[in-house]
Structure 1
Amino acid sequence: MRILVTGGAGFIGSHLCRRLLADGHEVLSADNYFTGSRKNIHDLLANPNFEALRHDITFPLHVEVDQIYNFACPASPVHYQYDPVQTTKTSVHGAINMLGLAKRTGARILQASTSEVYGDPEIHPQTEDYWGRVNPIGPRSCYDEGKRCAETLFFDYYRQHKLDIKVVRIFNTYGPGMQLHDGRVISNFIVQALHGEDITLYGDGSQTRSFCYVSDLVDGVVRMMQSGPGFTGPVNLGNPSEYTIAQLAETIIRLCGSRSKLAFKPLPEDDPRQRQPDIGLARKNLEWWPSIPLEDGLRETIAYFRRLLDTPPNTAKGANR
């Protein structure tokens, strides 16, 4: 099939492009390179089945495709709060444009939504039938509410125009290909540990997250796209193993062989206290669950960042010798 991946030069998008090419498809990546990078897809550019297009999905796109994976949107607080109006436009106008494209071409379309639609949840773990607890006017709202509105649009197109839709809610994902300074907790901690700097924790470190390795996540996304037409989602995709932020920091310090210490700062506004997916729906309908343990995934991710920083094992500033 000919498949469009918006945000195809981003962290998850580039991994998804590789998977789809390996599965024998023709892949068109559309990315405005605000947070994505051509470096992420450099190894794909010579592939005759791959095409890279610089495009902002807040403007219509006229191509012929069989499937659309809509992944275009900044996903870390540092990036989505940099230009919050544009973040909302990307989620809302972008969804409208991609849904319009799917309607015209008859393509199946998948929306990469987020666990942030649950906000600071009152139930734990989070199930797909939970409506969430989101501040509509806070500093994170551009992302949280933008993604919630995108889900609304997808289901309205499904009901009104009988569009073939799929919606996944992605929980924290990590792995090789993350940016050095993207503001996500795992990349922040690894870079600080490799430099021997203090590890910055917000709050007391007791807030929890669940971390899914990128290859596991991509497999779940592809399974969702391939699932039967009667299953629209939304479906949670993430690793149900839950860790406190302090546990994560200590694990990264140990795996990096670093002497970094923990440094605590005030908790940002609207930062969720707990985040853990209930993946029962994905297990039942997609026969999907993560297979990569956290420490195994962290070792691969640390090795990737060492290559970026040109920092050999156990010789980083402040590392154990």
Structure 2
Amino acid sequence: MTSRDDMHASQKPFLEIASADFARLAQHIDSQDFAGKTILVSGATGFFGMWILALFAWMQKTRDVQFRVLAISRNPRNFQARHPWIEGAEWLQWITGDIQDFTFPEETVDCVIHAATDTSAAAGRSPGLLLNSIVRGTERILACAKACHAKRILLVSSGGAYGGQAVETPRLLESLRTAPSTMDLGSAYGEGKRVMELLGAIHAHENECDVVIARCFAFVGAGLPLDGHFAIGNFIRDALTQERIVIRGDGKGVRSYLYAADLAVWLMRLLSNGQNREIYNVGSDQEVMIAELARQVIASLAPEKTVVVEGASNSPGAGNRYVPSIDQARERLGLDVWTPLPLAIHNTALWSSKNS
């Protein structure tokens, strides 16, 4: 068990945490797939992007492999100020601009990771803008890929593309044909991702380019907002700063969480080995009820504290679900949930307690 004082005493820089994670996962990292290549990354300074860049930094330092990364960001200076480990990286070149109108690089690009999407609660309050930004951003990145002769593209989509998950559906399969409701304004994100996927399929059909879809679910790791709409981030914040974790609902919702270091390795494997025009769920299939998740956070970070569930429910079953099947990624690409949830929570708090 880790007390709050112990946690603050053992805070570590982000790259130190990430590097230790990648060393632990080294057998799953195929660095040679990127030897001599140029990779374009959008969303490079978001939660996904920082872990992707950290993996590239680790590969450059520990493996005998050379590659170039072109990273798109609206404000790379701000990111470098918060992450000085990336400043001066010879393998990295920044492209400053918005995903909807950035300037194309004047060179050939081998592969593209499109991970730029605003997932904040604020973005969700402007569904029209959110939908347009996803669609226009995808159109721009695909146009760039064509102009730069990219042969492989990984589009980072979302499990939101399935729409709601029925209680009687234990895990969402890639073969499901469910979709978000077009009458629900909250569907803008999921519908935008569906259009992204369709645009990718059209691009693959019309060009000599493989397009792979990563439908991403829920994650935990350094950089996850602790003041947003992510339950696990809120729980970690409260475990570090409050006397107890309070759950306003009934705590019966069901989620699963993949650690960010695992996520970065998954995305690299999908980029290099995923099948053209194939959808892969990205996440964990190890489900946990929200109330139990809060108790696990407390047990990992502040065992002297308590969890209070304020909501009541007459239903004997679980509440809403958001859990993928990852059998396809596991069986076809050798991917798995390598980091146990308690370790994922602990490592997230190591950095987040310093930066919250």
TM category (shorter chain) comes to: 0.7 to 0.9
Q: Match for residue 234 of structure 1?
A: 279
Q: Match for residue 7 of structure 1?
A: 43
Q: Structure 1 residue aligned with 2:352, among 301, 305, 310?
A: 305
| 1-structure distance, mates of 2:193, 2:81 | 27
Asked if 2 retains the 8 angstrom alpha-carbon contact of 1:121 and 1:133, the reply is no
Asked if 2 retains the 8 angstrom alpha-carbon contact of 1:205 and 1:244, the reply is yes
| Aligned residue runs from structure 1 range 9-88, under 5 A | 9-23=45-59, 24-32=66-74, 37-39=79-81, 41-63=83-105, 64=107, 65-76=109-120, 78-88=121-131
Bigger drift between 57-66 and 8-17 goes to 57-66
Partner amino acid, structure 2, of 1:280: D
Seq. identity, %: 26
Asked if 1 retains the 8 angstrom alpha-carbon contact of 2:80 and 2:86, the reply is no
- Going from structure 1 to structure 2, the CA distance change for 1:264 and 1:80 (only over 3 Å counts) comes to farther
Q: Match for residue 97 of structure 1?
A: 140
| 2-structure distance, mates of 1:11, 1:28 | 17
Is 1:170 aligned to 2:216, yes or no? yes
Partner amino acid, structure 2, of 1:149: V
The structure with more helix, counted as a fraction of residues: 2
| 2-structure distance, mates of 1:88, 1:190 | 30
Asked if 2 retains the 8 angstrom alpha-carbon contact of 1:6 and 1:71, the reply is yes
Asked if 2 retains the 8 angstrom alpha-carbon contact of 1:58 and 1:89, the reply is no
| 2-structure distance, mates of 1:307, 1:279 | 33
Asked if 2 retains the 8 angstrom alpha-carbon contact of 1:240 and 1:278, the reply is yes
| Aligned residue runs from structure 1 range 147-296, under 5 A | 147-227=193-273, 230-257=275-302, 258-264=304-310, 273-296=320-343
| 2-structure distance, mates of 1:154, 1:185 | 31
Aligned residues: 302
| 2-structure distance, mates of 1:28, 1:266 | 50
- Going from structure 1 to structure 2, the CA distance change for 1:5 and 1:265 (only over 3 Å counts) comes to farther
Over the aligned positions, Cα root-mean-square deviation in angstroms equals 2.4
Q: Deviations over 1:82-113 (max 9, x none)?
A: 44333212210011111111112221211000
Deviation of the 1:197 alpha carbon: 4.8
SS in 2 for 1:199: strand
Partner amino acid, structure 2, of 1:91: I
Bigger drift between 251-260 and 289-298 goes to 251-260
Q: TM-score, normalised to structure 2's length?
A: 0.78
Q: TM-score, normalised to structure 1's length?
A: 0.86
Partner amino acid, structure 1, of 2:327: G
| 2-structure distance, mates of 1:104, 1:51 | 18
| 1-structure distance, mates of 2:351, 2:96 | 26
Deviation of the 1:119 alpha carbon: 1.8
| 1-structure distance, mates of 2:312, 2:71 | 39
| 1-structure distance, mates of 2:355, 2:291 | 25
Bigger drift between 197-206 and 127-136 goes to 197-206
SS in 2 for 1:148: helix
SS in 2 for 1:89: helix
- Going from structure 1 to structure 2, the CA distance change for 1:265 and 1:41 (only over 3 Å counts) comes to farther
Asked if 2 retains the 8 angstrom alpha-carbon contact of 1:71 and 1:112, the reply is yes
- Runs of at least 5 residues in structure 1 that lack an aligned partner in the other structure: 310-321
| 1-structure distance, mates of 2:144, 2:338 | 35
Deviation of the 1:265 alpha carbon: 6.0
| 2-structure distance, mates of 1:73, 1:265 | 32
- Going from structure 1 to structure 2, the CA distance change for 1:256 and 1:21 (only over 3 Å counts) comes to closer
Q: Deviations over 1:258-281 (max 9, x none)?
A: 5244254699xxxx8111111111
Bigger drift between 197-206 and 109-118 goes to 197-206
- Going from structure 1 to structure 2, the CA distance change for 1:42 and 1:16 (only over 3 Å counts) comes to same
Asked if 1 retains the 8 angstrom alpha-carbon contact of 2:240 and 2:301, the reply is yes
- Going from structure 1 to structure 2, the CA distance change for 1:98 and 1:81 (only over 3 Å counts) comes to same
Q: Deviations over 1:132-169 (max 9, x none)?
A: 24122334222111111111111121223343211111
| 2-structure distance, mates of 1:114, 1:103 | 24
Comparing both chains, which one has the higher relative contact order based on Cα–Cα distances under 8 Å and sequence gaps of 6 or more?
2
Asked if 1 retains the 8 angstrom alpha-carbon contact of 2:80 and 2:87, the reply is no
Deviation of the 1:200 alpha carbon: 4.3
Partner amino acid, structure 1, of 2:339: I
- Going from structure 1 to structure 2, the CA distance change for 1:80 and 1:40 (only over 3 Å counts) comes to farther
